Structure 1
Amino acid sequence: MTSAVYFCDNKGKAILSRRYKDDIPLNAIDKFQTLLSDMEDETSVIPPCIAHNGIQYLFIQHNDLYVVALASSLGVNIAEVFAFLHKVMDILAEYLKTVEEESIRDNFVIVYELLDEMMDFGIPQVTDAKMLKKYITQKSFKLERASKKKRNAARPPSELTNSVSWRAEGIKYKKNEAFLDIVESVNMLMTQKGKVLRSEILGSVKVKSRLSGMPDLKLGINDRGIFTKYLEGNNIGVNIDSSHPDLKDNQSSITSSKSKAKSSIELEDLKFHQCVRLSKFENEKIITFIPPDGDFELMNYRLNTAIKPLIWCDMKVQVHDKSRIEISCTARAQIKKKSTATNVEIIIPVPDDADTPTFKYSHGKIKWVPEQSAIIWKIHTFPGGKEYAMTAQMGLPSINNAERPKFRRPVQVKFQIPYFTTSGIQVRYLKINEPKLQYKSFPWVRYITQNGDDYTIRLS
């Protein structure tokens, strides 16, 4: 596996390192700066893997840092190495808040401690931030004071050596609850005429566990969602109670029939938390797990599929005499009438030298933000099937008569739609069992669809 991990500055010069094996030369990292420079000269896109003299340089970039893993074997598991490097950055963010060259230099002691605990002889070990925080702390005075009392000395928790290393024993709550949120972010690029150029769904299943003891949870998901491809390949049928009110109220915007879902939904990516029993999922497509305490992401997925716009904006730009332009926007909620979009925000770009705006609108609030060169239209609630309009007139000194202004940025739309999923994923059951305590538990499930980072409409 990994022979060493290095933190380098934005030029590729090493500032901190941790070596796990002695199978690579000490000066191997010195070549990274030259290799990086050569790659920048040859191509605009630098590959994350560089091989030189039998040494593999695997790296990621974060702010003004390069995090580099060195390996001497071609048989190294590259996916595992990159997953580990990203996990290192996530855990450092928990400790340092902002991870950059200066914070790494100022906190090199804690970085060394974390690298020692997270990997041993090049093999990842402890990568759970909650476990690490129990015995690795930046407040060194607490460790010194505690070391005088052997009873209170900070020591690695015993659960690190257990089969369930992500959860401590003896957790107790007065009310045992488990909250499960399915959050889907929709990214979409559209033309001004309404043609969808690109669309994808990024889904995340988030869990907040407030359960006593060592509970075992079983999560059942319907076959209309992201597991369709897996269910087809394994010939495993899933019975769905179509009379269940939750399944009736939250149908997919893509399709509502099993056969149509199989032809239109294609799973692109799926990642589980380490607590999920993968063998159980592979054989039976059932998600079973012992959850960590508190908040965590159980799984995430991506669907690259064609969907219709959920919030559509029909944009029109007209040029008037005396250097004035008129921007009209008609927004439509293209979702079912029983669904309602909330916190809708439409960001309309305008030329940098636009001034003296006047507005007319049927709903919501509008404000002009000159520092962003944009008009922001906010609609608190937007019921499905409704249509609202606004018109903005503003001066534009740089424009000539009959000349249409050029917009360098697209229209951006932000929204949230509760109790709705775009992909059609539904939770059939969430069972909680604690064999020793046998307490009464309360599972809660919530669905949210929202805009992704790239839900935009081009202005031609």
Structure 2
Amino acid sequence: MISEFFVLSSRGDKIIYRNLKKEIKHNSPEILFRKLKFSETDCPPIFNEDGINYVFVNLKEIYFCCTSISNISSSFVLELIYRMIEIIKDYCQDINEQILRKNNLLIYELVDELIDYGLPQQTVSLQLDKFICSTPIQKQDLQKSLKKISKKTKEKIKNKKPTLLITFGETQCVEIKKDGEIIRNEVMGKITMDNQVKESTDLTIEFKPFLLGKDVQNKYRYTDTMIEDILINIPCNSNNLQKPSPYVYIPRLPFGHYTFMNYRTSGSKIIKPFLFSINVATFTKNKIDLVVTLKSTYLKKFFGPVTVEIPTPEDALSVSSTLSDNVGQKVVFNSKKRKIIWNFEKLNGGRDETLEAGIILRSGIENLKKVRSQLGPLSLTYNLPKFSLSGFDISRVSSSNMKRFPNIIRNLNIFSRSNSYIVHF
């Protein structure tokens, strides 16, 4: 299945390399590095070169890659790579080149336990402990060797409490027609847990009321939130999810970092955090005037970053731009990608922000229909803290063993983002 696993630095050095099936004779790390650094376009995370399938993840300019000559599921391999990264984080607390090099032997042990002759095996940190002999060198240990630690820092490390961090993240995909009709409005959510308490404990997670499934008759019986699909990835009792007060009971909470739940929802009830008004006009033979107005329906005073990208025609030579407010925002024209990029470091919710752009064309607009078809669509990326687009949320987290484990800190981190917010014009 998986032929090789390797980790490359930003300079192309092999930090980790394991040839699992010894069936690839090419220098795969060098091929990947050349593809990353010398390709004219951005290298896709999944590609085929000389009959070899490459699947890689870029984390802080460190590249985790699996190769295979088999036609295997790319999403499966990506999930495996992400699980391997999280397991390394469980042992080493952080990932950077220095930590990976210092823990070289430990990581080789983990790879050998995670993948056996190309086949994925155990991917739960707590169950790997009994097979791992090396002691991890963590970030704080590296700092000790570089400089002396103050008394306050020593006390912090000594008194550091084990934590249970729950991260609740949603990713929105939106596509809107020129006339404002919504083609797609979908949210894919993921709840991840980072449990640093090795002692066994149970956990009860209570959710705000929602309806599970596609029962149209009872769709809004007791809530406006409709979840279409739910996938729970760890053993638990989920029989009470469809009750008016839904909850999940986990009898034994796994140790480490892992995805607890994936879910999906779609429809008109999902919030659209941004609205656009777009006007295109032609005033001269070689100039197109574009006016874009953005309004945030997310009413927090300041948030960001937010990026708006507008593809321009192939003949675009330059772009002159004017902003309604220059504070916390800027516009650049990327001539290589042929895009107008409108960046907000901080955006004030509830206000209208306007961009006026004059696009100068090299060869004029004799073929206006062709030039107009190459303009747009507008795409938006954003990150909204402490906000749930779907309305799906956790109301309470509890455990019967909290008295036995008083040092557990329960943190809940909520955010929403989008890398696919498309507006046609």
Tell me the TM-score normalised to structure 2 length.
0.62
Q: Does structure 2 retain, via aligned residues, the 8 Å contact 1:91–1:129?
A: no
What letter matches 2:248 in structure 1? I
The answer to whether the 8 A contact 1:313-1:330 is kept is yes
- Provide the residue aligned with 1:424 in structure 2: 391
Q: Distance in 2 between matches of 1:173 and 1:293?
A: 20
User: What is the aligned partner in structure 1 of residue 124 from structure 2?
Assistant: 128
Structure exhibiting the larger radius of gyration computed from Cα positions: 1
Work out whether residues 196 and 308 of structure 1, in 8 Å CA contact, stay in contact via their aligned partners in 2: no
- Give the letter aligned to residue 214 of structure 1: S
Aligned to 2:248: 287
Aligned residues: 323
Q: 1:277 to 1:125 in 2, by over 3 A?
A: farther
Distance across 1 between alignment mates of 2:387 and 2:345? 17
In structure 1, how many angstroms separate the alpha carbons of the residues matched to 2:113 and 2:223? Answer: 53
Contact 1:281/1:287 (<8 A) preserved: yes
Mind listing any 5+ residue stretches in structure 1 that lack a counterpart? 9-14, 19-59, 70-80, 98-106, 144-171, 236-254
Matches within 5 A, 1:284-363: 285-289=246-250, 290-306=252-268, 307=270, 309-335=272-298, 337-338=299-300, 341-363=303-325
AA partner of residue 232 (structure 2):
F
Q: What is the CA–CA distance in structure 1 between the aligned matches of 2:239 and 2:398, rounded to whole Å?
A: 19
Work out whether 1:439 is the aligned partner of 2:422. no
Counterparts in 2 of 1:216 and 1:395: CA distance versus 1, 3 Å: same
Cα 1:318/1:116, change in 2 over 3 Å? same
Is the CA contact 1:319–1:403 (under 8 Å) kept in the aligned structure 2? Answer: no
Q: Alpha carbons of 1:200 and 1:230: their partners in 2 closer, same or farther (altered >3 Å)?
A: closer
Q: Could you say what the CA RMSD is over the residues aligned between the two structures, in angstroms? A: 4.3
Q: Which residue of 2 aligns with 1:204?
A: 190
Q: 1:391 aligns with which of 356, 381, 384?
A: 356
Matched, 1:213 2:196: no
For the structure 1 residues 85 and 448, does the alpha-carbon distance in structure 2 shift closer, same or farther, using more than 3 Å as the test? closer
1:35-56 Cα shifts (integer Å, max 9, x gaps): xxxxxxxxxxxxxxxxxxxxxx
CA distance 1:316–1:116, change in 2 (3 Å): same
Name the CA shift for 1:368/1:130 in 2 (closer, same or farther; >3 Å): farther
The answer to whether 1:378 aligns with 2:343 is yes
Query: Conserved in 2, the CA contact under 8 Å of 1:344 and 1:378?
Result: yes
Residue type at the aligned position of 2:306 = V
Q: How has the CA–CA distance of structure 1 residues 212 and 346 changed in structure 2, closer, same or farther, with 3 Å as cutoff? A: same
The unaligned stretches of length 5 or more in structure 2 are: 5-18, 23-52, 57-66, 89-94, 96-106, 136-157
Instruction: Show structure 1 runs of 4+ deviating over 6 A.
Output: 15-18, 81-86, 92-97, 107-112, 230-233
Q: Does 1:458 align with 2:421?
A: no
Confirm or deny that 1:261 pairs with 2:244.
no
Task: Name the counterpart of 1:184.
Answer: 170
Higher-helix-fraction structure = 1
CA distance in 2, matches of 1:442, 1:395: 57
**Contact 1:266/1:305 (<8 A) preserved:** no
How much does 1:371 deviate? Answer: 1.5
Give the superposition deviation at 1:66.
5.4
Cα deviation, 1:379-408, whole Å, max 9, x if unaligned, reads: 233333211101111310223258252326
Give the TM-score of the pair, scaled to structure 1.
0.58
Letter of the structure 2 residue corresponding to residue 229 of structure 1: L
Taking only the aligned residue pairs, the percentage that are identical comes to 19
Match in the other structure for 2:231: 271
Match in the other structure for 1:57: none
CA contact (8 A) 1:206 1:295 kept: yes
Please list, as runs of the form range in 1=range in 2, the aligned pairs for 1:399-418 lying within 5 A after superposition: 399-400=364-365, 403=368, 405=371, 406-407=373-374, 410-418=377-385
Question: What are the superposed Cα offsets for residues 148-184 of structure 1, whole Å, 9 maximum, x if unpaired?
Answer: xxxxxxxxxxxxxxxxxxxxxxxx9742432222111
**Structure 1 residue 436: deviation in Å?**
7.5
Amino acid at match of 1:206: T
Is contact 1:276–1:287 with CA below 8 Å preserved after alignment? yes
Q: 1:92 to 1:286 in 2, by over 3 A?
A: closer
